[in-house]
Structure 1
Amino acid sequence: MFTDRTDAGEQLAAAVRRSDIEVDIVLGIPRGGLPVARPVADALSVPLDVVVASKVGAPGNPELAVAAVADDGTTWRNDSLIGKLDLTTGYLEDEIEHEQRAARQKRERYREGRPPLDLTGKHVLVVDDGLATGATMFACVERVREAGAASVAAAVPVGSPRTADQLERQVDHLEILERPRSFRAVGQFFRDFSQVTDEEAMALLN
């Protein structure tokens, strides 16, 4: 059980340092990933920035992620769920286009006019506050790879064992503190899992 996201970030930072992986930059996934990522970046003495993706929800159930798209259009799809729900190509294309615009707008807001992020040849660590379906994390990892990173690692305090196993096959290194069998939602493992505002998250980048 973590006190809050900052506590989780401090514990995660210690674990990442023990793993001795090479990290040039930490990317937090807004909003909830930034309070976790800040202590990690500070502990490693590397810059903190953001990588943004937006979930594509199922019809009538926006919280059920059938896909996720990053700000540059990189898309992760849950093909088994898409097939099970019998979703049309038209629905997916329209929603992916809509969510890409949303991700791009969020990126611009968070980066506040700074030069484009250049990840070419860099060892990148992507951090979030937890893994449930993992949709946004999968899209962000793929986006970082497409940007030419030398390696892509991921770090989260807690996550679904099944999703963690899937992510482990997609990254060069996964740092995760807890993979509880009783996992239902990320928030159940935090005493304080209050929603993070854009303003609070953006302040952590400065």
Structure 2
Amino acid sequence: MRVRRAVFADRAEAGTRLGADLRVRKWCDPVVLGLARGGVPVAAGVATALHAPLDVAVARKIGAPAQPEWGLGAVTADGPVNWDPASLRRARVAAADLAEAVAREKEEAARQLRRYREVAAVVPVADRDVVLVDDGLATGVTARAALRRLRDDSPRSVVLAVPVGRAGTADRLRAEGAADDVVALIAPAVLVAVSCWYRDFGQTPDAEVLAILAAARRADSPGR
């Protein structure tokens, strides 16, 4: 069986390359948000390239009961659950049966946000171009939840940017208006696992997210 070679060394390199691609666009007072956790190291490179402030967004996947990695929907700390109706049908699961999982993931999203806000206050996004960054796009359930939550804060535009993203998922997010555009450096028709595109795709702990956000705030502070 032929094994495809990884394209990105790690999330930091992917962010540098994604930032170089996005830098050629025209932006209106941009803000870059990393989708926690793995999207934050990628977003740091994008924020540097765009000379934009870095912030964080949190969305948690609601997994299938027997296959937790299979996202049936996703939720943010506040707001409604964003379900994938087609996945619910395939899994033969009713949304009502996942109430406990929804409550648990909403609580975890709130916990993450509280911890991140200890080092990084909210960056306002109203009337600004927002770039939401993740380390990859497969089913799109968490990205969709984060994008819809961002719309509530009245940004000028919202662009989802990823180093690698399934072409069909990107097309759906554009078509349904979840994002004004979706940018992917690589957009394969079939994407089995985002991790296959990275040589180093280790877990991103809260401590790393906190360190990146704190460093970004120090860099943005007056008199630096």
TM-score, with length taken from structure 1: 0.93
Partner SS state of residue 20, structure 2: helix
Q: Which moved more, 1:55-64 or 1:117-126?
A: 117-126
Compute the RMSD of aligned alpha carbons: 1.7
Query: In the alignment, does 2:10 pair up with 1:7?
Result: no
Unaligned residue ranges in structure 2 (runs of 5+): 1-6, 215-224
| One-letter amino acid of the counterpart of residue 187, structure 1 | S
TM-score, with length taken from structure 2: 0.86
Q: Which residue of 2 aligns with 1:43?
A: 49
Q: Which residue of 1 aligns with 2:67?
A: 61
Separation in 2 of the partners of 1:182 and 1:139?
A: 22
Separation in 2 of the partners of 1:114 and 1:5?
A: 21
Shift of 1:83: 2.1
Shift of 1:45: 1.2
Q: Which residue of 2 aligns with 1:147?
A: 153
| One-letter amino acid of the counterpart of residue 8, structure 1 | A
Residue 144 (structure 2) aligned to one of 121, 138, 141? 138
CA deviations 1:76-132 (Å, max 9, x no partner) are 110011123232343233322221111111111112165555432222110000011
Residue 201 (structure 2) aligned to one of 185, 193, 203? 193
Separation in 2 of the partners of 1:102 and 1:77?
A: 18
Q: Which residue of 2 aligns with 1:98?
A: 104
Q: Structure 1 segments of 4 or more deviating over 3 A?
A: 113-118
Partner SS state of residue 40, structure 2: helix
Q: Which residue of 2 aligns with 1:165?
A: 171
Maintained 8 Å contact 2:73/2:141: yes
Query: In the alignment, does 2:222 pair up with 1:203?
Result: no
- Between structure 1 and structure 2, the one with the greater Rg is 2
Q: Which residue of 1 aligns with 2:87?
A: 81
Q: Which residue of 1 aligns with 2:28?
A: 22
Q: Compare the two structures and name the one with the higher strand fraction.
A: 1
Give percent identity, aligned residues only. 39
Separation in 2 of the partners of 1:51 and 1:163?
A: 20
Aligned length: 206
Maintained 8 Å contact 2:119/2:210: no
Separation in 2 of the partners of 1:114 and 1:203?
A: 10
